[in-house]
Amino acid sequence: MKSTRLIAAPLLLMSLHAAWSQTPASAPAPLTRAEVKADLDAARKAGVIPINEEGQMPRDINPKAYPPKQAGPAATRAEVTAELAAARRSGDIPVNDEGETARDINPRAYPPKPMPPGLTRAQVQAETQAAYRAGDFQVGESGETAAEQNPSRYAGSPAKPPKLHLPHRKSKAASAPVASQ
């Protein structure tokens, strides 16, 4: 009894908070006390309010006390038989305790699985040509693209500051030995 009160109170507060937190222009009229109680009673009867710390629902603990869940539309016998035959032909039925399918064990005995649609040959060629024109391909082992190595050649590529290779000059004062006194 205490656990249902502990669960009912937060549900009631949550529903009231949701009703009050909406803006007046788009919010429907707030729920009345009777509507909230009716919602709570419907949830209890459906067995969808957790009753313990593990989150178990009353329906899971005592399924005979609640009406059966509505199942989706059932497949006909012919549809099930056709699906089974198709799974056998494609090797998608587990054949051992590890869950391996016949296709996993002997993949050459079954037709290849259809690949998801990808790019056409023309699309790949167009992308490759566009990348080449933009210099967006790696050159050498440095990881730099052609546009990064030679930005003046590729229009519209991000400019990279030029590498300056200046010889290191040592001043006479720095190269002269220091006299110890």
Per-residue model confidence (pLDDT) at position 163: 61
Per-residue model confidence (pLDDT) at position 147: 85
Per-residue model confidence (pLDDT) at position 126: 94
10-residue mean pLDDT profile of the chain (181 residues): values are 55 57 62 90 79 79 77 87 91 88 89 83 92 86 85 67 58 54 51
One DSSP character per residue, the chain reads: -HHHHHHHHHHHHHHHHHHHHS-TTT--PPPPHHHHHHHHHHHHHHT-S--STT---HHHH-GGGSPPPPP-PPPPHHHHHHHHHHHHHHT-SB-STT--BHHHH-GGGSPPPPPPP---HHHHHHHHHHHHHHT-SB-TTS--BHHHH-TTTSTTSPP-PPPP-PPPPPPHHHHSPPPP-
* Helix 33-46 and helix 2-21, axial crossing angle in degrees, nearest 10: 130
Whole-structure pTM value? 0.30
Q: Terminal CA-to-CA distance of the chain, rounded, Å?
A: 96
Per-residue model confidence (pLDDT) at position 5: 52
Only one residue has tokens 């699906």, namely 83
